[in-house]
Amino acid sequence: MRIYLLRHAQSEGNKRGLFQGSLDFPLSEEGKLQAQRAGEFLKRFEFDLVVSSPQKRALQTARIVADILGLKLKVDERLREISYGVLEGKSHHEVENWSEYQKWLENPVKNPLQGVDPMDKLQERVESFLNEIPQWGKSVLAVTHGGIVRAIICTVGNLGMENLWRFSVSNVSLSLVELKRLNPPRGKIKFVNLPTAEV
């Protein structure tokens, strides 16, 4: 089973350099163009279904992509972004020198930040999502968020949530994991952070 992970296109929050998490920003104008380019790029793959986070930035991206691909779209709450607690609404520049923030980036399991989704609950959420995928087809495109893409990769690759922030996931980048078994869902990481909307 192949799960393609597409991070949403540029949102108004991304444009302003903000931590978004549970905040619900729509796509920027540039983001809408990125989503269209991503949809064209994704024509080279075969998918059984597009499934999306309900948050505006992901759902707008998914609708544009699903329309281009002529596929059905399913919305799944489990693909919502991590809640970033005290970071939400702040810019990356504002917090880059916080020692608590730097410790959290190093190991979010050992050094939790106030109000951020606990890593064990995050793992439970993505495992629940992954275990259900075989009911939907052999090749699924999930349109979601940077934190969730990383969490799925860490789960499938059995890397541990302490490594959540060890790799980059850009707007409209594509990652691919292959599920080999379920309960717990484990498999192979095929690629991460492939650009889909280069001009």
CA distance 192 to 127: 19
**Which one of 2, 78, 145, 150 is the catalytic residue?**
145
Active-site residue, 93 included: no
**Which one of 7, 8, 57, 78 is the catalytic residue?**
8
CB–CB of 147/141 below 8 Å? no
> Residue 11 region, left (φ>0) first, then alpha (ψ -120 to 50), else beta?
beta
Which residue is listed with tokens 């779209």?
A: 73
Active-site residue, 145 included: yes
CA distance 151 to 140: 17
Residues labelled catalytic: 8, 145
